[in-house]
Structure 1
Amino acid sequence: MNRPLSIAAGCLLISLGLIVLKHSQVVTGGTAGLTLTLSYIFDIPFALLFFVINIPFYFIAVIQMGWNFMLSTMISVILVTIMTAADRWLPGFEVNIFIGTILGSVLCGVGLTTLFVNRASLGGVNILALFLQKRYKMNPGTVNFVFDTSIVMLGFYSVGVLQGVLSIASVFIVSTIIGLYKKKILAGTQLAANTPRGTAAG
């Protein structure tokens, strides 16, 4: 599968995972998890909030990882924004909280890993994790877990204690999946950093 299709597939998996988590009343980490939490608190559409929150991180992506990575990240955010917006046209449904936590987290974990391997991300903590791995060889799964757990703590306020505990479990599942592929992710970030700034990678 070529890179554009892989990125699109990763975005689809993440979007499905986020929809499942949302209908399970469970949040996760990263900008996606922060957006889910804020959407619960302020009753703002996820898709709109997700796009706006990621705007500042595009500039960080350019500085730390180059234009190619930034453009791939921007495209990924737009795709997830569009795909998750489709949830408003789906019939109302609920997902068992335990099944939803596992299924949604696995989908997000595999989707994020697919993006990372293909030199893209969903911004926010993802960019920091990839930068720390490239510069200091830190496990991106561990970095995601530490920062995402902090974000999920806010979820206790917005979704309740049980959902908050399961949200931490969601972060653990996503981070573990990402950590399993840290070598492939590192190869992707090194390629992104070494790609000429004005060149589009295929």
Structure 2
Amino acid sequence: MGEEKRRFGFWNTAATRHTPLEDAQGIFASSMIAALGLSLMGSAGLVASGTAGIAFVLHYLTGVSFGLFYTVVNLPFYLLSLRRLGRAFTVKTFIAVGLTSLITEALPHFIAIDAIRPLWTAVLAGILLGFGLLGLYRHRASLGGVGILAVYLQDRFGWRAGLVQLAFDLVVLVGAFAVASPFIVLCSVAGAVVLNLFLTINHRSDRYIAM
């Protein structure tokens, strides 16, 4: 019984390692927070960062489900994850992407927003996505796509994950001009800057080493 408590409980004798139950709650909570940020962005017509941004652009162009595009766009990155970051990271990331996609699609059925300001929404959504990604990173998972690459580059070369994502996001947001007004794109840029600065400041391997 004592061994089971140490393995599955909320405590652990090895302070630097999460239990399976801790990983499960961390991934679920982080995916829900990230999904709320993505849902707010979709309600305001904004473009998110990373592969979510690509999925939003395709969604706005075709009208096909954002969740479907988000899942498909992430598929090629799982190979990099499996080869460079291991099976556990890949499986947890796959689960996080699936959960985030499902929750993002479901949220409009539970939350109705009557009025929304794009710039304020971009800042709030950026913070929510930052918290979601930070939680996933600390449980050795991500929201797929460039997040996988960012985690690998930070682990391998010490490059800040937030700065890697910001560079990629700026490229994606240039493409957003095809589906959104300049004002909406600028608001989306503000959201991406808030998100990635949040990660740059808060996600440092020398400060948080739990796995």
TM tier, shorter chain? Answer: 0.7 to 0.9
Residue identity opposite 1:38 in structure 2: L
Of 50, 59, 63, which aligns to 1:39? 59
Q: Does 1:133 align with 2:154?
A: yes
User: Matched residues, percent identical?
Assistant: 28
SS in 2 for 1:95: coil
Q: Does 1:153 align with 2:162?
A: no
How far apart, CA to CA, are the structure 2 residues paired with 1:89 and 1:157? 28
Q: Structure 2: any 5+ residue segments left out of the alignment?
A: 1-9, 11-21
Of 82, 86, 95, which aligns to 1:66? 86
SS in 2 for 1:138: coil
Alignment of 1:79-158 (within 5 A): 79-90=99-110, 91=112, 93-158=114-179
Shift of 1:184: 4.0
Q: Structure 1: any 5+ residue segments left out of the alignment?
A: 192-202
Q: Which protein is bigger by CA-based radius of gyration?
A: 2
On the 8 A contact 2:23/2:139 being kept in 1, the answer is yes
Shift of 1:187: 5.2
On the 8 A contact 1:106/1:174 being kept in 2, the answer is yes
SS in 2 for 1:183: coil
- Report the number of matched residues: 190
**TM-score of the superposed pair, with normalisation by structure 2:** 0.84
Distance 1:92 1:99, change over 3 A: closer
Distance 1:182 1:23, change over 3 A: same
* Residue in 2 that maps onto 1:200: none
- RMSD of aligned alpha carbons: 1.8
Residue identity opposite 1:32 in structure 2: A
Higher helix proportion: 1
* Residue in 1 that maps onto 2:96: 76
**TM-score of the superposed pair, with normalisation by structure 1:** 0.88
Of 44, 50, 69, which aligns to 1:30? 50
Residue identity opposite 2:182 in structure 1: V
Shift of 1:12: 0.4
Q: Deviations over 1:55-99 (max 9, x none)?
A: 121111101100000000000011011101114525464421122
